[in-house]
């Protein structure tokens, strides 16, 4: 299946919801399962957590840290704009973009060029409230531009294996134009890779590996394949 020529943003107004961890593992997942596609990571988070994880990985074709935030001038935003547009114009390249918590500011236009925005959140109201505000703004921007993409994919994150009732989340997002992705949990084995990141291979045989694989398959089969485009058209 052709998955290139597309971009995926991981974003949320709320920080600390797992964007960088998911970015790193999903980037590795796509490269591991689609060897014929060039998979690239652009890390716009000043903390650089995703690029720190993947920096030592040889499986990803391009890893760049282009921090965006109040402490950086507009040059980085222009650089990110140029690099991202060039990568998504290549039909053989899939581009992942990690972002910092807070308002997306002057990179909104790039978000609107993406195939989808993955929005991780826990079931805590401390995370849900800003998440709802964020996805509401995403949908308002889509409506204002009369576009179907980027698809807004909410990813239930840090979900306990005993907590499979996601009614709190589904009720919170109500009838908004949002897709709910398969949930993932938060395991200590993930944090142990902070020193020596080995991606999906390093978590083989764990629940986290199965959950990430399920999430990756969902993104490929329903989002990158164009099935959601057909539904909304």
66 in a structural domain: yes
**Predicted local distance difference test score (pLDDT) of residue 191:** 62
Q: How many domains does the chain have?
A: 1
132 in a structural domain: yes
Tell me which residue has tokens 């797992």: 18
Write out residues in the chain with pLDDT < 50, as ranges. Answer: none
177 in a structural domain: yes
CATH of the domain at 224: 3.40.50.300
- Cα separations (Å) of 163 from 59, 156, 159, 173, 231? 34, 11, 6, 18, 30
The residue segments making up the domain with residue 35 are 6-232
From CA 190, how far away is CA 187, in angstroms rounded? Answer: 6
1 in a structural domain: no
Q: Are 27 and 5 in contact (CB under 8 A)?
A: no
From CA 141, how far away is CA 121, in angstroms rounded? Answer: 21
pLDDT in tens, 10-47: 999 998 888 999 999 999 999 999 999 999 999 999 99
**Predicted local distance difference test score (pLDDT) of residue 163:** 65
């Amino acid at each position: 299946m052709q998955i290139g020529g597309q971009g995926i943003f991981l974003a949320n107004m709320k920080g600390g919801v797992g964007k960088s961890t998911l970015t790193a593992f999903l980037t590795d997942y796509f490269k591991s399962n689609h060897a014929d596609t060039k998979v690239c990571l652009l890390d716009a988070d000043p903390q650089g957590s995703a690029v720190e994880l993947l920096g030592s990985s040889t499986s990803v074709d391009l890893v760049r840290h282009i921090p965006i935030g109040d402490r950086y001038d507009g040059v980085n935003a222009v650089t990110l704009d140029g690099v991202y547009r060039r990568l998504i114009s290549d039909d053989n390249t899939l581009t992942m973009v990690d972002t910092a918590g807070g308002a997306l500011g002057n990179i909104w236009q790039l978000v609107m060029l993406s195939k989808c925005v993955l929005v991780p959140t826990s079931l805590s109201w401390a995370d849900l409230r800003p998440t709802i505000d964020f996805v509401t703004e995403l949908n308002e921007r889509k409506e204002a531009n009369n576009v179907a993409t980027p698809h807004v994919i909410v990813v239930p994150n840090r979900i306990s294996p005993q907590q499979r009732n996601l009614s709190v989340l589904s009720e919170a997002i109500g009838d908004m134009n949002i897709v709910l992705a398969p949930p993932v949990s938060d395991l200590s084995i993930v944090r142990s890779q902070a020193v020596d990141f080995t991606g999906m291979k390093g978590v083989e045989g764990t629940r986290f590996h199965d959950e990430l694989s399920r999430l990756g398959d969902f993104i490929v089969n329903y989002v990158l394949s164009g099935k959601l485009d057909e539904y909304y058209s």
